[in-house]
Amino acid sequence: MEITARSLWTLIHGMGFGALYLLACSGVLVELYRRYSPKSECPISPRDERFLKVYLIAMALLAWLTVLTGTYIIYPWYRAVAPVGTVNLSAFPQSLLKSSPDTIGWHSLGMEWKEHVAWLVPISITMAASVFVRYGRDLRSQPQLRGAVLCFTLTSFLAAGIAGFFGAMLVKNAPVEGGRVIHLMHGE
């Protein structure tokens, strides 16, 4: 079993940071909607509040790690220009996708959307985390603030979902491969 360094980075970016963000996002949406509703009768202990603060900060960190690894580590490999005359485009995913009318859409729609929409995620969730850190349980008595935090968090979930979906499809159609080969284990 072996994996290339570029594949490993793609995994860290998509499965490690991106997918974990999506999972965390669904959790925080439920928590903010249910427990911080003005109608909620469930008391919020200082421990619960502290937990959610740390949780949101961790989510913001995950979102930043996802976009930074995507933009500055993986994207340069994806968009590398193939030397003139290159026949095998497998090391040049963007060129590979653009070489066929059946796959060009994954670049012109998928990657073009993903590369920009993904950046709405860290902006939105950093805002949500900062508002929660400042107001905490006060959000119950500030429904407009809570509403905005929920809407931005929901949008970040949607944007991360779009980026994640196209990321997965891009990996299926033109995986970012190459670099050092890492041997994980020897088979029987």
> Residues in the site for another protein, rule: CB under 8 A?
67, 71-72, 75-76, 79-80, 108-109, 112-113, 115-117, 119-120, 123-124, 126-127, 130-131, 134-135, 138, 141-142, 144-145, 147-149, 151-152, 155, 158-159
State the minimum distance, in angstroms, from the CB of residue 33 to another protein. Answer: 17
Q: Which is nearer to another protein, 24 or 131 (CB)?
A: 131
State the minimum distance, in angstroms, from the CB of residue 159 to another protein. Answer: 7
Q: Which is nearer to another protein, 2 or 108 (CB)?
A: 108
Spell out the SS3 assignment of the chain: CEEEHHHHHHHHHHHHHHHHHHHHHHHHHHHHHHHCCCCCCCCCCHHHHHHHHHHHHHHHHHHHHHHHHHHHHHHHHHCCCCCCCCCCCCCCHHHHHHCCCCCHHHHHHHHHHHHHHCCHHHHHHHHHHHHHHHHHHHHHHCHHHHHHHHHHHHHHHHHHHHHHHHHHHHHHHCCCCCCCEEECCCCC
Q: Which is nearer to another protein, 55 or 64 (CB)?
A: 64
State the minimum distance, in angstroms, from the CB of residue 77 to another protein. Answer: 9
Q: Which is nearer to another protein, 19 or 166 (CB)?
A: 166
C-beta of residue 128 within 8 angstroms of C-beta of residue 153:
yes
Query: Which tokens hold the place of 136?
Result: 């905490």
Q: Which is nearer to another protein, 2 or 50 (CB)?
A: 50
C-beta of residue 9 within 8 angstroms of C-beta of residue 167:
no
State the minimum distance, in angstroms, from the CB of residue 169 to another protein. Answer: 15
State the minimum distance, in angstroms, from the CB of residue 10 to another protein. Answer: 16
